[in-house]
Amino acid sequence: MLKLSNVSKVYKVGAFGEKELHAVNDVTFDIKDGEVTSLIGESGSGKSTIGKMILHLIPRTKGGIFLDETDVSELKGAALKEYYRRVQGVFQDPFSSYNPIFKADRIFNMIHDEFYPEVSSQEWDDRIYDALKAVGLNPEHVLNKFPHQLSGGQLQRFLIARALLLDIKLLVADEIISMLDASTRIDVLNLLADLKSRHSLSILFITHDLSLANYISERAVILYRGCIAEMGVTEKIFTNPMHPYTKMLMASVPRLDQRWEKADTVVEQTLNPMGTTAGCIYYERCPLADKICAQAKPKFVEPEPDHFVACHRVAEKIS
């Protein structure tokens, strides 16, 4: 359905823009119809940048983003508007998506005026009621309320209902439950899973939380400093992590049945002025690194079906 092909995003930084920051570097993966793909990584790894490029909120520097063979990066005007009928996003802070001086359900009126002006008011109200019920909200309790009168979970459900009104095919969910309380998180996750099964909705679930990604997704992409370290079927990555970075992430998850131990000291990587390294991006933190890791970027290998790893050490083991 959606495919990213060698996508990169470079920002000009410095007082006069004389330096470059490579936020995303040569990323390639796809999202299939009716599939949840998790994009996992630390803060600053480029997860949200990828989501914004997919949503056409920021331009990509190079590479292609394709929706059913159409290059999203080249869309303008009516073609871009039609793209937003199929692809929408929900972001981390639900309150920032609303103007506090307007009632929250104004977002539904905006969708009506912009995309469905031919639909009568009564029919549109019926659609709103159906969409709100689909996301587990009681229309009588939440309509005609200002954003501050609704909880974060309710506002997130409003945004998902807005997407349903457009009959979208892909939802970019960027850290959408990180600001919600624990009791609400599972409700939103189950809602996404239910919408995926009932509406054949594809979801890019952007998160730094491994447990959430394991719970909801069929496929996972592990991102580190703008580069993909490991990707494939979620179960295979979580039960058999192969990249040293993925292993470190898994080992960092606290367990209730074990005493917490002091984590290994993390050595931050020093980037060259161009924001990249000559070799593996994980070189300075990797306990298995040697000379080749400093000199050459690793290529993806497939140690088992539908499980890809960018690591010289893994490549040596299967060669």
* Token reading at 300: 């993806």
187-199 confidence digits (pLDDT tens): 778 888 887 877 7
- Average pLDDT rounded to a whole number, residues 260-273: 45
* Token reading at 27: 């990323």
* The pLDDT of residue 282: 87
- Residue 26: which pLDDT band, with cuts at 50, 70 and 90? very high
Burial of 257 (0-12, 13-18, 19+ CB in 10 A): exposed
Under the phi-then-psi rule, with left for phi > 0, alpha for psi from -120 to 50, and beta for the rest, what region is 237?
alpha
- Residue 268: which pLDDT band, with cuts at 50, 70 and 90? very low
List of residues 6+ apart from 206 with CB closer than 8 A: 38, 39, 47, 48, 50, 51, 172, 173, 174, 175
Q: How many CB atoms lie within 10 A of CB 203?
A: 23
* The pLDDT of residue 272: 40
Query: What percent of the chain has pLDDT above 70?
Result: 91
Q: Is the pLDDT of residue 233 over 70?
A: yes
d(CA 74, CA 286): 39
* The pLDDT of residue 274: 38
List of residues 6+ apart from 69 with CB closer than 8 A: none
Range name among 41-50, 108-117, 138-147, 158-167 with the lowest pLDDT average: 158-167
66-120 confidence digits (pLDDT tens): 988 888 888 888 899 889 888 988 887 878 888 899 998 898 999 999 889 999 9
d(CA 47, CA 146): 31
Residue-by-residue DSSP string for the chain:
-EEEEEEEEEEEESTTS-EEEEEEEEEEEEE-TT-EEEEE--TTSSHHHHHHHHTTSS--SEEEEEETTEEGGG--HHHHHHHHHHEEEE-S-GGGGS-TTS-TTHHHHHHHHHH-TTS-HHHHHHHHHHHHHHTT--HHHHTT--GGGS-HHHHHHHHHHHHHHTT-SEEEEESTTTTS-HHHHHHHHHHHHHHHHHH--EEEEEES-HHHHHHH-SEEEEEETTEEEEEEEHHHHHHS--SHHHHHHHHTS--TTS---PPPPPPPPPPPTTS--SS-TTGGG-TT--HHHHHSPPPEEEEETTEEEE-HHHHHHH-
- Residue 137: which pLDDT band, with cuts at 50, 70 and 90? confident
> Could you give all domains of the chain from N- to C-terminal order, each with its CATH number?
2-240 (3.40.50.300)
- Average pLDDT rounded to a whole number, residues 245-271: 61
* The pLDDT of residue 259: 61
* The pLDDT of residue 164: 81
238-255 confidence digits (pLDDT tens): 999 999 999 988 887 665
Range name among 36-50, 113-127, 171-185, 217-231 with the lowest pLDDT average: 171-185
276-311 confidence digits (pLDDT tens): 457 888 888 888 888 888 888 889 999 999 999 999
